[in-house]
Structure 1
Amino acid sequence: MLLVDGEPVSASASPTFGSSRGGSGGRELVAALMGNPGLRAASERLRAEPERRISSGPEEDDADAAAAAAPRHVYVFQREFATVDPARVELVGTDEVTTCVGVVIRNNKTGMTSISHMDFPKIVEGGLKQMLELLGDDNAPFDVHLIGGFDDVSTKVVHSAGRKHIKQEGYSYPLCCRILEVLYKSRQQFHLRTFCVLGSNTTTDSYGNTRPIIGGFVVETSSGAVNPASFEMNSRCPDEIVRRIRVSVSSYDPNWQGRLLETYDTHSDAFEIAPACWMPDWAEMASSLNQLSDSEVLLQCSTSPAAEPPHFVENERRIWRYLIENPYWQDTFPKYKPRVFHRTSDGRCLCAVGQCRFHCTLLLGRNCASSASTQRFAISTV
Structure 2
Amino acid sequence: MVLVFNGVLQEKCPPDTHTLYNTHPVYRETASQLLSIPNKVIGPVGLLYVQQRELAATVPHDKSINVLGSDDSTSCLIVVIRHSGSGAVALAHLDGCGTDEAVCTMVQRVHELALGYPEGRIELQLIGGFSDTRNYSEELFGNVMNSFHKHPMEIDLTLACVGELNTTIRGSIPWPIIYGVGVNIKTGEIFPATFPDKGPDQSLRNARYLTGSDPRVLDVYDCHLGMLRIGPFNYEPLRGVDLWLEQSDEFILQHLSTSPEVEPPHFVMQIRTTLKYIQDNPFPAVTVFRDNRPHYFRRDEHTGKKKNCPNIFIFLLLIFIRSMGSSEILTTEGFNCSYLLKYR
TM-score w.r.t. length of structure 1: 0.75
Amino acid aligned to 1:6: G
**252, 258, 266: which one aligns with 2:213:** 252
**235, 250, 267: which one aligns with 2:224:** 267
**20, 34, 44: which one aligns with 2:21:** 34
* Conserved? CA contact 1:30–1:180, under 8 Å: no
Residues 1:178 and 2:133 are matched in the alignment:
no
Structure 2 counterpart of 1:84? 58
Residues 1:95 and 2:45 are matched in the alignment:
no
Structure 1 counterpart of 2:298? 342
Matched residue SS, 2:153: coil
How big is the alpha-carbon RMSD for the aligned residues of Structure 1 and Structure 2?
1.9
Residue segments in structure 1 that go unaligned for 5+ positions in a row:
12-24, 57-69, 154-168, 348-372
Deviation per CA, 1:247-287: give whole Å up to 9, x if none: 223x324xxx4x312321222110110222134x42x6222
Identity score, percent: 28
Amino acid aligned to 1:332: V
* Conserved? CA contact 2:82–2:122, under 8 Å: yes
1:374 Cα shift?
A: 2.1
CA distance in 2, matches of 1:239, 1:189: 36
1:30 Cα shift?
A: 3.8
**Aligned counterparts, 1:212-361, within 5 A:** 212-232=176-196, 235-249=197-211, 251-253=212-214, 257=215, 259-279=216-236, 281-282=237-238, 285-329=240-284, 330-345=286-301, 347=302
1:139 Cα shift?
A: 7.0
Max radius of gyration: which structure?
1
1:10 Cα shift?
A: 4.2
* Conserved? CA contact 2:295–2:308, under 8 Å: no
Cα distance change of structure 1 residues 184 and 10 upon mapping to structure 2, 3 Å threshold? same
CA distance in 2, matches of 1:139, 1:86: 16
CA distance in 2, matches of 1:311, 1:197: 23
CA distance in 1, matches of 2:192, 2:104: 26
CA distance in 2, matches of 1:286, 1:328: 13
Amino acid aligned to 1:263: V
CA distance in 2, matches of 1:332, 1:341: 15
**133, 156, 174: which one aligns with 1:191:** 156
Matched residue SS, 2:291: helix
Out of 261-270 and 102-111, give the one that drifted further.
Answer: 261-270
CA distance in 2, matches of 1:314, 1:83: 30
Residues 1:118 and 2:94 are matched in the alignment:
yes
Structure 2 counterpart of 1:145? 125
Deviation per CA, 1:99-135: give whole Å up to 9, x if none: 0000000011111110000101x41111111112221
CA distance in 1, matches of 2:89, 2:47: 12
TM-score w.r.t. length of structure 2: 0.83
Matched residue SS, 2:74: coil
CA distance in 1, matches of 2:176, 2:160: 14
1:31 Cα shift?
A: 4.3
* Conserved? CA contact 2:85–2:119, under 8 Å: no
